Chain A
């Protein structure tokens, strides 16, 4: 563990910013190019996770534990979101027999 911490000392905050924005953008691309509702929700999880990691990095940078508490709340929220979202997906699948997001166009009008 001590060895890991010594390895940790040399990473600029900028690199965390760039890395987390790359993961966030991958999540956005996933939402844009997939049609399966479940994979769109997985991309949303990816975006939430990148923001979590950035909050933890800022918290370590400032030496303030509030950031990590905030990450903990985001994780609780994500668990609730996934439970409700997957329940909605199951209900939609029961009605339309598909997980295609294009089958949800009934709400348009």
Chain B
């Protein structure tokens, strides 16, 4: 029980470090740690498949993409554009207002305060695979098309534009 609160504190701390650090590379590294704490949360919920996917996709693929782009563009602390302190202050105030709105909404809807019990087997690969390939077969296939489209789009966008000389 106390593990949850400790990991939650770590997640919030590293998420704050992510958005308040000046150096973009440090920011990405803090985001990796935040995602790792999310993986621990998934394990605590007994969602083992999601924990593995979060570990591989987020901490592996997406973070490598971010780091790669940061290093490709050669960004560092000196080239980092920062907003003025007034805008920062107003942004934090606006975020706090949003949080207060959320908390007020949660008070009104009165979630019954039952405990989240980790079910034995719903998060396991076997069970999720059965659901994924029976009830959600069409969305699964559509997501493969989505990934293909994203790949083609990314290559087309990032390719260096060459002026085609029309001969003749």
| Interchain CB contact under 8 A, A53 and B38 | yes
- Docked Cα-Cα span, A69 to B50, in Å, equals 9
| Interchain CB contact under 8 A, A18 and B119 | no
Chain B 45-69 per-residue mask, 1 if CB under 8 angstroms from chain A, else 0: 1110110011001100110011001
Of the candidates A17, A36, A83, which one forms a contact with B150 in the assembled complex, judged by CB atoms under 8 Å apart?
Answer: A83
The number of chain B residues touching the other chain, given as a range, is: 35 or more
| Interchain CB contact under 8 A, A75 and B27 | no
- A80 CB contacts on chain B under 8 angstroms: 146-147, 149-150
- Docked Cα-Cα span, A23 to B123, in Å, equals 23
Q: Is the interface of B mostly helix, strand, loop or mixed?
A: helix
Residues of chain A touching chain B, judged by Cβ–Cβ distance below 8 Å, are 4-5, 7-19, 21-30, 32-36, 38-39, 41-43, 45-46, 49, 52-53, 56-57, 59-61, 63-66, 68-69, 71-73, 75-84, 86-91, 93-94, 98-100, 102
- Docked Cα-Cα span, A28 to B99, in Å, equals 10
| Interchain CB contact under 8 A, B116 and A49 | no
- Docked Cα-Cα span, A41 to B131, in Å, equals 31
- A5 CB contacts on chain B under 8 angstroms: 46, 118
